[in-house]
Structure 1
Amino acid sequence: MTLFDFSDLIAEYGLPVQIIFSAETKGHYDDQTGEWVPPKPADPIDTTAVVIPYSSNEIYQSGGRITEADRRLIIQADIPIKSTVVCDGHKYSVEQELPYKAYAGFNQYELKWVSAFEQ
């Protein structure tokens, strides 16, 4: 049971996002052929989440760790670290989790902007 229910606020103020999960399984060698079998990526999911830019004060106090392109994500789902979040045509990498799910029903994640030159 959560103490506070923010699901209505997330639904009302959320944006459509796509989550591309990091490969949770490792590749392996096939027992019969001995060939390398790469990990199979999970299917991306489309959902709703609140995506918030950091304030200029938070960026300044981070000492360069956070930039203007980075975002904060508030979502009711659990997302593995190093997954990719696509929002409004921009890609972000999930870097840190602040779990509030036990008492507020959501998790907060730090998103780092992924350069257009990175794959």
Structure 2
Amino acid sequence: MIITEELINSYSVSFKVILPSTGYHDQHNGGRWVPGLDGPSQQAEGMVIPLKSNLIYDSGGKLTTEDRQLVCLFKLKKGDICMVKDKKYTVLEETDWSEYADYYRYTLKYSSQSK
């Protein structure tokens, strides 16, 4: 399938991108790691599609049927959080197609239901 900006715009859904904040080691509590709170969020759009079954199979259990691929026109970072239809996903890896095309492709790891 050839992915174009027109195709992305035709099948895009709205979702929220949450930038994670940095955690810290609490020296007053034995150096225990304290994760950061969710950082600022912004609305975004992109194609969120199920993973191909052979990709799930070849992952050796790393990926599941709950995980998704995101195709969009903007750059994200590994660890960014995407809230899609009340489901929480974390950006697991990026396939950068920007050198050859005008889009980015990400693997989203399902985290949990939104509260």
Give your verdict on TM over 0.5: yes
In 2, Cα distance between the equivalents of 1:63 and 1:5? 27
| Pair 1:95-2:104 in alignment | no
Alignment map for 1:45-60 (pairs within 5 Å): 45-60=42-57
Alignment map for 1:1-119 (pairs within 5 Å): 6-23=4-21, 42-116=39-113
Q: Once the 2 structures are TM-superposed, how far is the Cα of residue 82 of structure 1 from its aligned partner? A: 0.4
Aligned to 2:32: none
Identity of aligned residues (%): 28
Aligned to 1:35: none
Relative contact order (alpha carbons < 8 A, sep ≥ 6): 1 or 2 greater?
1
Q: Letter of the aligned partner of 1:53 in structure 2? A: P
Q: Once the 2 structures are TM-superposed, how far is the Cα of residue 54 of structure 1 from its aligned partner? A: 1.0
Q: Once the 2 structures are TM-superposed, how far is the Cα of residue 21 of structure 1 from its aligned partner? A: 1.4
- Once the two structures are superposed, residues 53-74 of structure 1 have per-residue CA deviations (whole angstroms, 9 ceiling, x without a partner) of 1122221121101101101111
In 2, Cα distance between the equivalents of 1:61 and 1:100? 22
Q: How many residues align?
A: 104
Normalised to the residue count of structure 2, the TM-score between the two structures is: 0.77
CA contact under 8 A between 1:81 and 1:96: conserved in structure 2?
yes
Normalised to the residue count of structure 1, the TM-score between the two structures is: 0.74
Identify unmatched segments of 5+ residues in structure 1: 28-38
Query: Which protein shows a greater Rg?
Result: 1
In 2, Cα distance between the equivalents of 1:103 and 1:48? 21
Local SS of the residue matching 1:9:
helix
Q: Which of the pair is proportionally richer in strand?
A: 2
Change (3 A) 1:56 1:16: same
In 2, Cα distance between the equivalents of 1:94 and 1:79? 8
Local SS of the residue matching 1:21:
strand
Local SS of the residue matching 2:112:
coil
CA contact under 8 A between 2:77 and 2:91: conserved in structure 1?
yes
